[in-house]
């Protein structure tokens, strides 16, 4: 995916200023403060917002030239703020998402949610609902997956399992989240984003105390864990 010179204004305020992104293989994460336009950027990249300037190309095709069904096979999108209306079973949600007819029960087995398959979605807890919706997006098996705050509301076990699932998956992920520690384990590429611009882009090594303080305006402590991974702790 290639995004060039994306700019977007909302109610006379320029929210996104000349952003360019390349995102090919693996997990790319966008890190930045609240209200900086990260969710908006995600919506633009996934084709939901159309009145931006600049160009977005997937494998050479401009997204504006693609049909609804082409886009649906190319990318999928998750936002934890999206509601489910009415009574629908968990099974229905997966059936509707199962665009490539895969066996989605193995995802449910992995999370221990197999017994929830026939239940109404509303009967699940908030965290379980969140996991189900993320899994339903992954079940679509699109090459590009956009996740907007997937780790919110997840308990440590679900978080760990989701991290493993994303790492094992062959799909390419673009994730926005505030759980920086989790992102530091997951990310192949990091984009530091502030005030509508990509400030820095690179590997996990970008997560230095200085860089994070510049982005968020608050202190972090970096340390190495037993596997040599860079880990973050917020220093209150």
Q: Which residues bind another protein (CB under 8 A)?
A: 46, 48, 68-69, 71-73, 76-77, 82-89, 92-93, 95-97, 99, 118, 120-122, 140
CA distance readout (Å), 167 to 184, 187, 188, 220: 12, 9, 10, 25
β partners of residue 198: 193
Distance from C-alpha of 139 to C-alpha of 101, rounded to nearest angstrom = 9
CB of 210 to another protein, least distance (A): 38
Cα 175 to Cα 46: distance, rounded to the nearest angstrom: 12
- Shortest Å, Cβ 50 to another protein: 12
Smallest distance from another protein to CB 181, Å: 29
**CA–CA distance, 137 with 76 (Å, rounded to integer):** 6
- Indicate the residue among 48 and 53 with the shorter CB distance to another protein: 48
- Per DSSP (E only), the strands in the chain are 2-10, 13-22, 27-31, 53-58, 61-62, 75-79, 144-148, 172-176, 189-194, 197-202, 220-224, 230-234
Least Å distance, CB 2 to another protein, is 21
CB-nearer residue toward another protein: 21 or 133: 133
Residue 48 C-beta: closest distance to another protein, Å: 6
Give whichever of 47 and 216 is closer to another protein, judged by the CB atom: 47
**Inter-CA distances, 78 with 52, 134, 193, 196, 219, Å:** 21, 6, 20, 21, 30
Torsion over CA: 154, 160, 163, 168 (sign) = negative
Q: Which is nearer to another protein, 126 or 202 (CB)?
A: 126
The least distance separating another protein from the CB of residue 17, rounded to whole angstroms, comes to 25
Q: Which is nearer to another protein, 57 or 91 (CB)?
A: 91
Select 48 or 203, whichever has its Cβ closest to another protein. Answer: 48
């Amino acid at each position: 995916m290639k995004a060039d010179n994306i700019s977007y204004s909302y109610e006379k305020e320029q929210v996104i200023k000349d952003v360019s992104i390349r995102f090919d293989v693996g997990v790319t994460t966008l890190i930045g403060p609240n209200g900086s336009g990260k969710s908006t950027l995600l919506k633009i990249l996934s084709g939901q917002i159309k009145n931006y300037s600049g160009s977005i190309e997937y494998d050479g095709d401009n997204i504006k030239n693609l049909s609804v069904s082409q886009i649906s096979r190319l990318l999928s999108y998750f936002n934890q703020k999206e509601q489910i209306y009415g009574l629908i079973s968990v099974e229905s949600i997966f059936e509707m998402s199962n665009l490539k007819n895969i066996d989605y029960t193995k995802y449910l087995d992995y999370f221990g949610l197999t017994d929830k398959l026939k239940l109404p979605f509303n009967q699940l807890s908030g965290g379980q609902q969140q996991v189900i919706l993320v899994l339903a997006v992954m079940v679509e098996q699109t090459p590009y997956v956009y996740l907007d705050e997937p780790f919110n509301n997840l308990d440590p076990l679900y978080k760990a399992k989701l991290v493993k699932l994303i790492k094992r998956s062959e799909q390419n992920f673009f994730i926005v989240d505030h759980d920086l520690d989790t992102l530091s384990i997951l990310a192949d590429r990091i984009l530091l984003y502030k005030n509508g611009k990509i400030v820095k882009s690179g590997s996990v090594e970008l997560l230095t105390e200085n860089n994070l303080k510049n982005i968020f305006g608050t202190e972090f402590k970096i340390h190495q864990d037993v596997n040599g991974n860079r880990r973050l702790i917020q220093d209150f």
